[in-house]
Amino acid sequence: MANLFRWLANVPFKLHWFFVLFLAFVLPWATRKTPNPGEWFPFSNFPMYSNFAETAYYVFISDLDDNPLPMAGLFAVPSGVKKAYDQKLKERVEELKDEAKSRGERYRKRIVQMDGEECRPAGDATLQQLLDSRRDKGPLAGYAGFRLYQVDITLDDEGQIVKRTKLVGEVRQ
């Protein structure tokens, strides 16, 4: 027993090896009667990447001549453009659901199925928010306006990636 303690005292990365043993033996045994044995967030292998959505989309901004623009140089929060658009688009979907409900119908379109005109209020509001949040308007002065495009990405029946670009917002200065 003394040799075991002496050996343990000399083992490097003790906490690391504790977790290795815990994840290899204790966790699978403790979760053996659950639907996914061995899965226990945050110790599971890939808890949030196990399933991918069938559809996705991204957005980009262009000038009125449809030339894509570098968001980092022109707008205060380039990484927040899609987040802001997502938030406004979800609000727009709720409005469309309420309108359909008032007519006795149900609105069932997913975001990638919506046409540009349905997304237009969200896109216009996003662009206006971006313009309003920019303190230094100097870099924006050379442009007459901006357009926001949404590119929907889906898989067709043959497994090919299909991209569909739609204009979802426009603001003129």
Mean pLDDT, the chain, rounded, equals 84
CB-based contacts of 69, cutoff 8 Å, min separation 6:
60, 61, 62, 63, 143, 146
Task: Look up residue 144 and give its two tokens.
Answer: 């007459």
pLDDT for position 89:
92
Segment among 18-32, 41-55, 106-120, 126-140 with least mean pLDDT: 41-55
pLDDT for position 65:
94
CA angle 43, 44, 49 (to 5 degrees): 130
Whether pTM > 0.75 for this model: the answer is no
Stretch 142-151: mean pLDDT, rounded? 92
CA torsion sign, 36 to 38 to 40 to 43? negative
* Sequence spans of domains, the chain: 1-50, 55-172
pLDDT for position 52:
66
For residue 2, pLDDT over 80 is answered with: yes
Percent of the chain past pLDDT 90, that is, above it, reads 38
pLDDT for position 21:
84
Alpha carbon 97 to its chain centroid, in Å, reads 22
Task: Look up residue 47 and give its two tokens.
Answer: 């808890």
Under the banding of pLDDT at 50, 70 and 90, the label for residue 19 is confident
pLDDT for position 151:
94
d(CA 63, CA 2): 75
